[in-house]
Amino acid sequence: MPNSGKKVCFMTGASGKLGAEIALAVAGQGYSIFFTWGHSEEKAKETLEKVRWVSPESQMVQCDVSKVDEIEQAFTAFSDHFDRLDLLITSASNFYRTNLLEVSEQDWDSLIDTNLKGTFFTMQAAARIMTKQPFVSRIITMTDISAGMVWRNYAPYTVSKSGIQHLTRIFARETAPNILVNSIAPGTISAYPIRADEPEANLLDKIPLQRFGDPMDIVGAIRFLMESEYITGQIINVDGGRLLY
């Protein structure tokens, strides 16, 4: 085992726009990173290269999180490399617009299987390791403020994120006190395309802090949850106050 003593993070979706920033930040906190990618090998390689600048023993593996056998294989590969699991971050996510009356079975399965089913079985596999360890570990799920809103044209996506928020509370209760389980729900992050179907100008009018979020706002919330010892089962909305409207 190359990392004896060093804390280890298993992360899904580290090849994503925000996911890559999170992986880098966690590595910067002194963690080894083991992350999965689904379809974007080049982006995954870029993330791994950057993560290895600070955490050379970090590893990645391909894993379609909508398939339970691939999640199991990823955890087997993880165990070949690392002998402890301190932090799970579930960031893998599928996101696209779906008109309510035209949602197909394929759309439903794609969004729900990747986001909700994938998150559940990843949390389950991690919890099986974490609950046997003689120290407290953490799970952070990545959701979305839309989980608590009624967005037009995103029914399967918002239902999937809502389900993950409930899973967060369920795992927090059932795995306490071994595992602290919380969720980060980002609002609109400025570096990326606007996610709602609202015009950008109107959207800014509904953000009390009068700016879109920065990836570092999300990273700050992740770091906070990595340090905290008395918070579990919570959804932290990092949205500039958007949910106050």
Ligand X SMILES: NC(=O)c1ccc[n+]([C@@H]2O[C@H](COP(=O)([O-])OP(=O)(O)OC[C@H]3O[C@@H](n4cnc5c(N)ncnc54)[C@H](OP(=O)(O)O)[C@@H]3O)[C@@H](O)[C@H]2O)c1
Task: Establish if 13 lies at the interface with ligand X (CB under 6 A).
Answer: yes
- Binder to ligand X among 66, 165, 168, 175 (CB under 6 A)? 66
- DSSP letter, residue 30: T
- Binder to ligand X among 58, 114, 158, 168 (CB under 6 A)? 114
> What b/e string do you get for 153-191 counting C-beta neighbours within 10 Å, with b at 16 or more?
ebbbbbbbbbbbbebbbebbeebeeebbbbbbbbbbbee
Task: Establish if 97 lies at the interface with ligand X (CB under 6 A).
Answer: no
Please, which residue, 163 or 186, has the CB nearer to ligand X?
186
Please, which residue, 8 or 213, has the CB nearer to ligand X?
213
> In the annotation, is 31 catalytic?
no
Q: How far is the CB of 114 from ligand X (least distance, A)?
A: 4
Please, which residue, 39 or 132, has the CB nearer to ligand X?
39
Which range binds ligand X by CB under 6 A, 24-32, 58-66, 170-178, 223-231?
A: 58-66
**Single-letter residue type at 206:** K
- Binder to ligand X among 91, 158, 183, 232 (CB under 6 A)? 91
Task: Establish if 156 lies at the interface with ligand X (CB under 6 A).
Answer: no
Q: How far is the CB of 39 from ligand X (least distance, A)?
A: 4
Q: For residue 48, which phi and psi values (nearest 5 degrees)?
A: -60, -40
Instruction: Assess contact for 31 and 55: CB atoms under 8 A.
Output: yes
Catalytically annotated residue among 31, 96, 157, 245:
157
Q: How far is the CB of 110 from ligand X (least distance, A)?
A: 8
Q: How far is the CB of 4 from ligand X (least distance, A)?
A: 29
Which range binds ligand X by CB under 6 A, 15-23, 25-33, 48-56, 203-211?
A: 15-23
- DSSP letter, residue 96: -
The structure tokens listed for 81 are 């490399």
The size of the interface with ligand X (CB under 6 A), counted in residues, is 29
- Binder to ligand X among 8, 9, 11, 18 (CB under 6 A)? 18
Q: How far is the CB of 11 from ligand X (least distance, A)?
A: 9
Cβ neighbours of 194 (radius 10 Å): 14
Long-range contacts of 222-230 (CB under 8 A, 24+ apart): 222/22, 222/25, 222/26, 222/89, 222/140, 222/184, 223/25, 223/29, 225/138, 225/140, 225/180, 225/182, 225/184, 226/26, 226/29, 226/87, 226/138, 226/140, 228/180, 229/136, 229/180
Q: Which residues contact 60 (CB under 8 A, 6 or more apart)?
A: 14, 34, 35, 36, 37, 44, 45, 47, 48
Cite the active site residues: 157
Site of interaction with ligand X (CB under 6 A): 12-13, 15-19, 36-40, 44, 63-66, 91-95, 114, 142, 144, 186, 189, 192, 195
